[in-house]
């Protein structure tokens, strides 16, 4: 194990134990939740948009699950403010894996991408581009 990956492991544990932007927003523009049944992870994101209706002003999340899923949500929550909904749409799993900075086994990829999928689906539902009760990683192609 390299020093570098050890540093990232510490970061994941830190975000898991002390999640950033944890909780709920008082007046979110939209909220969306999602589940990763294969691991038992759940995450709900609240997103507040700026007056332009496009740019993220504030986010909060809460959930339950493994360290990878919750640390991914915490790390992602730090990137979202200032991003537009179009930029969020352009995120992919590589962006999330880069934030995490560790090798993720195929089984745990769904844990890692849950937060990203929840925010993207929430944005799509808000814009009327998708109808969905809740995101599930089981729907992955």
Give the nearest distance from C-beta 70 to Zn ion in angstroms.
Answer: 8
Give the nearest distance from C-beta 66 to Zn ion in angstroms.
Answer: 3
Angle between helices 67-79 and 93-100 (to 10 degrees): 100
Per-position DSSP letters for 89-128, written without gaps between them: HT--HHHHHHHH-S---HHHHHHHHHHHHHHHHHHHHHTT
Q: Decide if residue 120 touches Zn ion (CB under 5 A).
A: no
Paired tokens of 130? 């998708």
Give the nearest distance from C-beta 3 to Zn ion in angstroms.
Answer: 26
Position among 111, 112, 118, 119 found at the interface with Zn ion (CB under 5 A): 111
Q: Which range touches Zn ion (CB under 5 A), out of 2-10, 99-107, 109-117, 118-126? A: 109-117
Paired tokens of 123? 């944005």
Residue whose CB is less far from Zn ion, 71 or 91: 71
Position among 11, 25, 39, 97 found at the interface with Zn ion (CB under 5 A): 39
CB burial of residue 12 (10 Å; 0-12, 13-18, 19+): buried
Binding flags for Zn ion, 42-71, as an x/- string (CB under 5 A): ------------------------x--x--
Residue with tokens 């950033």: 20
Site for Zn ion, rule CB under 5 A: 39, 41, 66, 69, 111
């Amino acid at each position: 194990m390299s020093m570098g990956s050890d540093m990232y492991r510490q970061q994941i544990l830190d975000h898991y134990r002390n999640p950033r932007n944890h909780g709920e927003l008082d007046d979110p523009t939209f909220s969306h939740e999602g589940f990763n049944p294969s691991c038992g992870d759940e995450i709900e994101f609240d997103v507040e948009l700026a007056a332009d209706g496009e740019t993220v002003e504030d986010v909060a999340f809460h959930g339950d699950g493994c360290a990878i899923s919750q640390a991914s949500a915490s790390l992602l929550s730090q990137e979202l403010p200032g991003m537009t909904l179009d930029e969020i749409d352009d995120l992919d799993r590589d962006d999330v894996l880069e934030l995490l900075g560790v090798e993720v086994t195929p089984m745990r990829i769904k844990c890692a991408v849950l937060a990203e999928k929840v925010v993207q689906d929430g944005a799509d539902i808000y814009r009327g581009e998708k109808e969905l009760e809740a995101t599930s990683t089981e729907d992955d192609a």
